[in-house]
Amino acid sequence: MIVLSEKIKDDILNNVLPKGVPLRQVELSKRYGVSRIPIRDSLLALKAEGWLVPHGKAGLMVPNLHWKEAEELYLMRSQLEVLLLSFAFDFIRQKDVTNAHKILVALEQDEITLIEKGNLNWLFHEILYLPADKQSIHKTVSCINQQVTRYIGFQYGPMGYKSQSQQDHYELLELIRLKKKSAALSLLKQHIEEAGEELTRFLKSID
């Protein structure tokens, strides 16, 4: 089911599955070559993650993306993720920095899908937050980032924000390596807010 959910997410990001139109399990079964049971389970999982919303009495659809939601998501991220990093900072080890760096190298690959890019982007941040050992905050932040991934097609596509994002990531790792906590927290906040503001402006321009 995990693989199927990822395929559906990637089709959503690439506009293969239309927004605002009810999804038909029969049609999806034919498209993905599986029975309706895994389709149903995947759709329910995607609904729980915020990728799908109700349509009618029992249907589901891909929601239209809106600047107001994008704005709220980055505002929550800028507060909660900085908080998590502040708790984690003194417990981040060299192996964490090394693993985070490997994720950034993987993100440089052009052949990976949009959903893989979104997952890798979150994994980079997650590696730095896990040492905080704040499970409830981490769970909330993880859910927010699941929703943020829905917008990555804009940031890695027409907005061309990948280069700036990666530059920030590498700089953040260097500040962590140098034990510059205040500077690292400031950069993380700036990184999230600037990307969020750019995305909000872009979505407003096409609204």
**What are the structural domain ranges in the chain?**
2-61, 67-206
Give pTM, 2 decimals: 0.87
What's the Cα-to-Cα distance from 139 to each of 81, 82, 142, 198, rounded to whole Å?
11, 15, 5, 26
Q: Output the pLDDT for position 111.
A: 87
Tell which CATH classification among 1.10.1060.10, 3.40.367.20, 1.10.3210.10, 1.20.120.530 matches the domain 67-206.
1.20.120.530
For the domain spanning 2-61, the CATH number is: 1.10.10.10
pLDDT per position in the chain (207 positions), as tens? Answer: 458 999 999 899 888 998 888 999 999 999 999 999 999 999 999 998 888 999 887 799 998 889 999 999 999 999 999 999 999 999 999 999 999 999 999 999 988 888 899 999 999 999 999 999 999 999 999 999 999 999 988 887 777 888 999 999 999 999 999 999 999 999 999 999 999 999 999 999 987
CA distance 143 to 126: 12
Q: Output the pLDDT for position 1.
A: 47
CA distance 117 to 151: 12
